[in-house]
Structure 1
Amino acid sequence: MQTIMYGIPNCDTIKKAKKWLDDNNIPFLFHDYRKDGLDSNLISQLYQTLSWDELLNKRSTSYRALTDQQKESLNEKSASLLFIEFPTLIKRPLVIHQGVAIIGFNQKNYQTFFAV
């Protein structure tokens, strides 16, 4: 099973995670939400590993830009639609490796996760 990193390429945390994977010779496919797409099928696949609230980046500018009504009415369906419209609402990087997900980048966590 291939390792896939999801995110946007200009994110500093994505760059750090990519470098770590490269430095540790871990092959991966990078899925750019904007270039490669983000649709309901991909969201459904991600939901098999993580819940919508685990994916939601409440520290993002995109989240802060949501209306109070949008924030208060968040649920799996509304989050899916917002993730598609605003991919930066998804925490990053999101890496799926052997069917298991890890969010964010921390060198020690990656060493454990990938058992390097």
Structure 2
Amino acid sequence: MTTLYGLKNCDTCKKASKWLDRFGVAYTFVDYREHKPSPETLLEWAGKVGGFEALVNKSSTTWRQLPDARRAPGSEAEWKLLLREYPQLIRRPLVVTDDGALSQGFSDNGFKQRFGVG
């Protein structure tokens, strides 16, 4: 089954959920704030998307409001701590399928290609 990670009140996550519903793709929704990803999960995701820099939404209000020192983590441990403290920094939605494939963001064409619908 597909797992959609995001925030309940995120418009892009809502669009992704509606798309999955419309095309009959079974999924589970996991809210980052209610179920924070484990440090091991964060490390796995970062590895699949090209590092922690690629995992973070740097255009978010939360990111811009962080002190400069927090916006420059110097180690994996600091990244994991930051993302556990502020899970809303993770780009969303983050989609993981049973085969372990991971993608971030939502677009109609991207989802059609990802799920072979169309």
TM-score where L is the length of structure 2? 0.88
Aligned to 2:68: 68
Cα pair 1:58 1:64 within 8 Å, conserved: yes
Tell me the alpha carbon deviations over residues 2-57 of structure 1, each in whole angstroms, 9 at most, x when there is no partner. 21111111000000000000000000111111222333133234234232111111
Superposed CA RMSD: 1.5
Q: Give the share of equivalent positions with the same residue, in percent.
A: 37
Moved over 2 A (4+): 36-39, 44-51, 72-77
Q: Residues of 1 paired with 2:90 and 2:74: CA distance?
A: 14
Q: Residues of 1 paired with 2:74 and 2:16: CA distance?
A: 29
Aligned to 2:37: 38
CA deviation after TM superposition for structure 1 residue 72, in Å = 2.8
**Structure 1: segments with no counterpart, 5+ residues:** none
TM-score where L is the length of structure 1? 0.89
**Structure 2: segments with no counterpart, 5+ residues:** none
Cα pair 2:33 2:88 within 8 Å, conserved: no
Equivalent position SS for 1:46:
helix
Aligned to 1:8: 7
